[in-house]
Amino acid sequence: MVDETRWNELRLVIAHNPEQAQEQTKLRRERIAAILAKANQWVGKLEGQDAGEVSRGRKLSDSGAKARLYHEVSDAHLARIIKVDLKTELFSYTIDEAAQVQAELMDGKLLLVTNVPDHTPEEVVRRYKSWRILSGDSGF
């Protein structure tokens, strides 16, 4: 689906690919689940240490767990969804469900702003995609 509207006296061309939206949502949810699985392992290790259990490897601290999670979240580009609380002394994080819903609403969408009046919305999208291919960027 491709359409257009006006925005700040420019053309805003909107394209939506439902199959790509499904795939993007699925991949994001998988990345979130993988990160949360690691975080839960760290929580288990921290709780075990607090209970006096001895485990393999180096001892984990709350600040170390926070740093690890922060880097995992940053590397996955999920900082708007998974919030690592760096200010508390204990290892803590939350999931911003509203941010996740917002991200999923944008999945499969391409928004282009142009001032070119003589191309159809489909041509604007086609030119953008061909530019991305020529530049070596393989997105939308």
Q: What is the pLDDT of residue 53?
A: 84
Place of tokens 């909107």: 14
Identify the H or E element spanning 6: strand 2-7
Residue 2 in contact with residue 127, Cβ under 8 Å?
no
Q: pLDDT tens digits for 15-55?
A: 999 999 999 999 999 999 999 999 999 999 999 998 888 87
Reported pTM: 0.78
Q: What is the pLDDT of residue 9?
A: 83
Residue 35 token pair: 């990160």
Q: What is the pLDDT of residue 139?
A: 55
* Secondary structure class of 113 (helix, strand, coil): strand
Segments in the chain below pLDDT 50: none
90-97 own/partner pairs: CB under 8 Å, 24+ apart = 90/62, 91/42, 91/43, 91/46, 91/62, 91/65, 91/66, 92/66, 93/39, 93/69, 95/32, 95/36
Residue 59 in contact with residue 49, Cβ under 8 Å?
yes
Q: What is the pLDDT of residue 56?
A: 80
